[in-house]
Amino acid sequence: MTEMTETASGWLSPEELESLRGRMPILYVDAVPVRVDDTGTVTHVGLLLRIAPDGTVSRALVSGRVLYHERVRDALLRHLEKDLGPVALPNLPPSPAPFTVAEYFPTPGVTPYHDPRQHAVSLAFIVPVRGDCRPRQDALDLVWFTPEEAASPMVQQEMTGGHGVLLKQALAHVGRLP
């Protein structure tokens, strides 16, 4: 999960946030962007192509931190707009309940999710998007995969920190796990 401009919020300096990451769980959201047909069936899953600080290339879901005094669904919309651009037209789910909760631990192996920087607890949502996606910021590209491609070993091994498992859980939730 890549952190961006949350210091712009003014509530926590980068140093303060850094200090907290090792002392309390940080609340995140993960979004799985999908294309659906007229009946709501998921036809494609969108993955971001990212370059991590250490230069390695990976595919990732949309994710980011929930800020102080920000509703979860506002955080979800903010991160979707940040990563997919302003005309993606995401259909946020009407229910506040995530389809799963991904617990990223700094210690590998406690859960399927891992984030060496922090203990992050992420509410994960599946979000149909209807418009054009134009990745911004540190995302190089957004590629749409069929469910079969998304669950394939080739795509799975390009995802890190447990995003591959989270993606398969999303496919299972919508009845499209191959």
CA distances from 155 to 21, 47, 68, 112 (A): 29, 10, 34, 17
**Phi, psi values for residue 124, rounded to 5°:** -105, 130
Nearest-approach distance from CB 129 to its own copies, in angstroms: 11
Nearest-approach distance from CB 121 to its own copies, in angstroms: 6
Neighbours of 24 (CB within 10 A): 9
List of residues contacting its own copies (CB under 8 A): 11-12, 16, 20, 22-27, 34, 36, 38-42, 66-74, 76-77, 91-101, 103, 105-107, 110-112, 119, 121, 123, 126, 128, 165, 168-169, 171-175, 177
What is the rounded CA–CA span in Å between residue 36 and residue 45? 9
Compute the Cα dihedral for 26, 137, 34, 145 and give only its sign.
negative
Closer of 27 and 49 to its own copies (Cβ) = 27
Nearest-approach distance from CB 154 to its own copies, in angstroms: 17
Q: Which amino acid is at 73?
A: R
Nearest-approach distance from CB 13 to its own copies, in angstroms: 10
